[in-house]
Amino acid sequence: MSEVKPTAPWKASKRDRIRDGLIFLATALFTFLAVQATPLKGKLAYFVLFFISYAIATGVLSFLKYGYMSAKDSAVKVIIAAGGILTVIPIASILATIIQKGYKGIKPNIFTQDMSLATSTDPLTNGGLLHAIIGTLLLVLVALILSVPIGILTALYLTEIKGRFTKPIRFLVQAMSGVPSIVAGLFVLSAVIYPITKANSGFMGSLALTILMIPTVARTSEEVLNLIPQDLREAGTALGGTQWRTVAMIVLPAAKSGLITAMILGVARIAGETAPLLLLTGGGDRVNGNPFNDPMGSLPFYIWKSFSAGSEEAITRAWAGLLVLVLLVLILFTTARFLSTRKVTR
Amino acid sequence: MTTAPVPREITTQPRRSDRVFRRIVTAGGLSSLLILGLITSFLGYRGFEIFRSEGLSFITGADWTVSYDESNNVVDSNFGLGAMLVGTILSALVAVVIALPISVAMSLFLNFYAPGWLKKILVTVIDMMAAFPSILFGIWGFLVLMPSVEYWAKLINKYLGWIPIFEVNPYVFTRSPFVAGVVLAIMIIPIITSVSREVFSQAPLDRIQAAYALGATRWAMIKAVVIPHGRSGVIGGAMLGLGRAMGETVAVYTVLNIVFQINWHVLLGAGGNVASLIVLRFGEATPYEIKALMAAGLVLFALTLVVNALADVIIKRTGKSGR
Amino acid sequence: MTSSLSDVANAATPRVPGSRALGTGLEARGIHAWFGKHHALADVSLDFAPGTVTALIGPSGCGKSTFIRTLNRMHEFIPSAAMAGEVLLDGKDVYAPGVDVTKIRLQIGMVFQKPNPFPSMTIGENVLSGLKLAQLKTENKDDLLEECLERAGLWKEVKDRLGAHGGSLSGGQQQRLCIARALAVKPQVLLMDEPCSALDPGSTLRIEETIRQLSETMTIVIVTHNMQQAARVSDYTAFFLSDGGPGHMIEVAPTTEIFSRPKDKRTEDYVTGRFG
């Protein structure tokens, strides 16, 4: 018997691909000429015209070849792909803008100086965002310390205890994830600042961030804990372990990297949160290592303040701050991704 | 004659360490209830006075004025959230109307059209977009997107201006609810996309194959099997997006012109937003006005809670009707 | 499975093909199938004469389901799938470039292992769903609906509740609904992939009756694990086997012969229940 080669006759052949490419190019050319020749103008005109004419072109071709249903199928395919591209355009634009504009504001001095001796409108060589970076790190750290135990306990309740409150709690956690950040800010203002401390501080900001972070930690942890095989728990109990020991020595260690992912995703959620910090932290311009006293700066506050100042230097400062903030969020996000793609156990 | 067997009652007496453990975990689990309850009661407590003095006009009125005499006593106050509520709902609706078709297209693309490698990249990119801070969308929206959106708004006004909501008079397009809606749409696309992607991917494979075996094209299959299966889940995702859009603060604040006047014309540069109002007024507010802002916060909280709860119920229902 | 030999006496004699059937049958030539690197099926050539029922039997994993799915091009939905060979319908290769795959699937219908009516549709809509999916025109929907349900042996049971949802039927009724659905687009060939494996014996018998009746007007290929079933409904039987390597066809013959005097020792072992 001679060797038979596997083939995939349903895949596009070379000829098909060349034909598709030619249609694509022809449509692009047509779009270009049409925009040049008619009063239509702008990126929007290019985009809309290209996809409409491409959908029509492939549709007509399929119609000639296979008929009406196939024509509809091809045209819809183009429209759906256009929807996909529409999603990617803003992301690409945001990343491009942030790098292009923020890059100019990245000077060595901004990582070593704060704004106590400078104003937003000063040249970029004066002042920096050291206080903001330190502030954000401290705010996030305190929020992390407060929210992780609560979040993981909530997840443990949902996965290990499964008591009669399971359904309502799952519902409430979901509801809590929809709490507008400004409401969290107002709540801390009304419940802590006005009756008790009467002063802004970094800790107040962390309290609001904690409220926003708990649902993310709780829901991700719940998903992770649900992935731990049930027999692992049963093995623990069968060996005579109490539930507490089984959870502490078997379940939680097995879910370790997943729980770290949950924490990181929670941090990514709150690191750029702005609204409550505007109400609560006071937003100082000086490096402040004490979250419990005195106003505390943070990256979002710094960006907000610079952006509001409005001069060219100030806007560049805002973009540089955004670049630093987004890099921070992306690093966290990538780490979380990396950890969560590994196996849950070990 | 035999008596019917009576099941023995199994009683477990957990050890003390376990009882303590269970109590601590339960307490932690109930914290969400505690926090939501505290938010309601504190905001309610602070805003109570305003609710009483303004009554229903706090929701329906559109004025936001307060005057004081020399010794800072309130002479007259008018706190009406109407314009802000209308603006909040309007820009959130614009956002959902724009984001929903794009998100559905994107999730169909991911599930049924994109090759594996592209799907992986796009899912990461969309998740990443969900983690972008909202202030970034605000500033990018203001400096980069707004000129384009105003141009689109003018086009819509030119050709569809005869539809009442697209009317613009006076001829001002800057910082309209439409602009805010477009920025919010970009922010909620990742949310709606990930929910829709999830429900579409749960469409039963055997039904999909049945449709193909009956000679369906991919689109005919999607229409017959995937869309009916995922419809209510997608609606739930859209509600989730709506809730997020209504509670958004800084992104809206930067691109919206806040005017205390009820305005249903989406393209007109006069809008409102409860969350932005709070940021706008907070800086120079007197203690009395702060109370009004607290009351406004409570109204916003209630609104987003209702929308989120509905979304949750709708999404859960899809899970069940699947089989 | 010792009783299988006694069924031979009751098995129908092979009919003269093509008398009232639609089309000119189906022919598979040198079919291979792969999943990624895994060679699942090797070199199967099989002729399905019009108006006959062919049963494909063999132990699990012998490639018979894979084979049946290459016939109506359902094989290609597995992302890493590949194939070689030709499937000729009316003498034309269904894998030839430029062939509209949806038209192929309209002519070669399929019934699956588990009944899968569309949950969002009523009984009536389910039967006519193929017409809707492919946007085919029909003069009289009601007549077609009745005809298909009649041929699938379901009309009497559901005629008063065509507006009810497909999910409200029993498993056996659902499977007959799926058969009716496949019939509505008037295929020449009907592929059945273990259509009774999820059903109780009573429903199985009803479906077997349906198959016998349908074979008067169309070509049927049925994959089955149940040898009595193969003996009861089929004119020809093909035995598939995988001995470690890719699955392949050991032999094909009129059903009576396969069960009474198989040429291959392995076939004999299988039909007499010595393994499998």
* Per-residue pLDDT tens over the stretch B199-232: 899 888 999 999 999 989 999 999 999 999 888 8
Chain A: nearest CA to C102, how far in angstroms?
A: 9
* pLDDT band per the 50, 70, 90 thresholds, residue C5: very low
Lowest-pLDDT range of C4-8, C138-142, C228-232: C4-8
Nearest CA in chain A to B149: A44
Mean pLDDT over all residues of chain B? Answer: 88
Which of B113, B119, B214 is the best substitution to test chain C (most C C-beta atoms within 10 A)?
B214
Other beta carbons within 10 Å of C249: 23
pLDDT > 90? residue B76 = no
Tokens encoding B296: 């406004």
- Dist. CA B108–CA C42, nearest whole Å: 36
State residue B4's pLDDT score. Answer: 77
Residue count (chain A): 346
Tokens encoding A315: 């806007």
State residue A324's pLDDT score. Answer: 94
* pLDDT tens per residue across span B127-184: 888 889 999 999 999 999 998 899 889 888 888 888 888 888 788 888 899 999 999 9
A301, B163 Cβ separation under 8 angstroms: no
Kindly determine whether residue A8 and residue C95, on different chains, have CB atoms separated by under 8 Å: no
Query: Helix-strand-coil percent breakdown of chain C, rounded to 5?
Result: 35, 25, 40
| Interfacial residues of C (vs A; Cβ cutoff 8 Å) | 30, 32, 34, 42-43, 73, 76, 81-85, 95-98, 100-103, 134-135
State residue C53's pLDDT score. Answer: 93
- Dist. CA B60–CA B56, nearest whole Å: 6
pLDDT > 60? residue C12 = no
User: Shortest CA distance to B247 belongs to which of C27, A178, C231?
Assistant: A178
Other beta carbons within 10 Å of C178: 28
- Dist. CA A228–CA C249, nearest whole Å: 44
State residue C2's pLDDT score. Answer: 40
B96 versus C273: the higher-pLDDT residue is B96
- Dist. CA B115–CA C79, nearest whole Å: 9
Chain C: nearest CA to B319, how far in angstroms?
A: 14
- Dist. CA B160–CA B174, nearest whole Å: 18
Residue C60's identity, in one-letter code, is S
User: Shortest CA distance to A89 belongs to which of B102, B54, B131, C85?
Assistant: B102
SS3 C111: strand
The answer, for A67 touching chain C at a CB cutoff of 8 Å, is yes
Average pLDDT (B261-277) is 88
| Interfacial residues of C (vs B; Cβ cutoff 8 Å) | 72, 74, 77, 79, 102-106, 109-110, 112, 114, 116, 118-120, 129-130, 132-135, 178, 181-182, 185
Tokens encoding B303: 């609104």
B246, B303 Cβ separation under 8 angstroms: yes
Kindly determine whether residue C95 and residue A10, on different chains, have CB atoms separated by under 8 Å: yes
The answer, for B85 touching chain A at a CB cutoff of 8 Å, is no
ipTM (interface predicted TM)? 0.88
* pLDDT band per the 50, 70, 90 thresholds, residue C14: very low
Tokens encoding A340: 């969560």
pLDDT > 60? residue B188 = yes
The answer, for B319 touching chain C at a CB cutoff of 8 Å, is no
Residues of B in contact with A307 (CB under 8 A): 139, 254
State residue C19's pLDDT score. Answer: 45
- Dist. CA A343–CA B31, nearest whole Å: 30
A212 versus B13: the higher-pLDDT residue is A212
B65 versus C122: the higher-pLDDT residue is C122
Strand ranges for B48-170 from DSSP E: 64-68, 74-79
State residue A244's pLDDT score. Answer: 86
* pLDDT band per the 50, 70, 90 thresholds, residue C20: very low
State residue B318's pLDDT score. Answer: 65
The answer, for A14 touching chain C at a CB cutoff of 8 Å, is no
Give one DSSP letter per residue of A121-155, joined into a string.
TS-TTS--SHHHHHHHHHHHHHHHHHHHHHHHHHH
Residues of C in contact with A10 (CB under 8 A): 73, 76, 95, 101
Widest Cα–Cα separation across chain A = 89
State residue A191's pLDDT score. Answer: 92
- Dist. CA B199–CA B234, nearest whole Å: 7
User: Shortest CA distance to B277 belongs to which of B253, B298, B295?
Assistant: B253
Cβ-based neighbours of C52, under 8 Å, separated by 6 or more: C14, C15, C17, C25, C215, C219, C220, C235, C236
Chain A: nearest CA to B51, how far in angstroms?
A: 16
Residue contacts between B and C (CB atoms, under 8 Å): 70
- Residues of chain A with pLDDT below 50 are 1, 343-346
Burial class (CB in 10 A: 0-12, 13-18, 19+), B184: buried
State residue B2's pLDDT score. Answer: 63
Chain B: nearest CA to A82, how far in angstroms?
A: 8
pLDDT > 80? residue C18 = no
pLDDT > 60? residue C166 = yes
State residue B1's pLDDT score. Answer: 55
Q: What is the dihedral of CA A229, A234, A240, A246, to 10 degrees?
A: 30
Please tell me which of the candidates C43, C73, C84 has its beta carbon nearest to residue A10.
Answer: C73
Mean pLDDT over all residues of chain C? Answer: 86
- Dist. CA C164–CA C168, nearest whole Å: 7
State residue A78's pLDDT score. Answer: 92
pTM listed for this prediction: 0.88
Q: What does the radius of gyration of chain B's CA atoms come to, in whole angstroms?
A: 25
B232, B317 Cβ separation under 8 angstroms: yes
Burial class (CB in 10 A: 0-12, 13-18, 19+), C160: exposed
Q: What is the dihedral of CA A241, A247, A250, A253, to 10 degrees?
A: -150
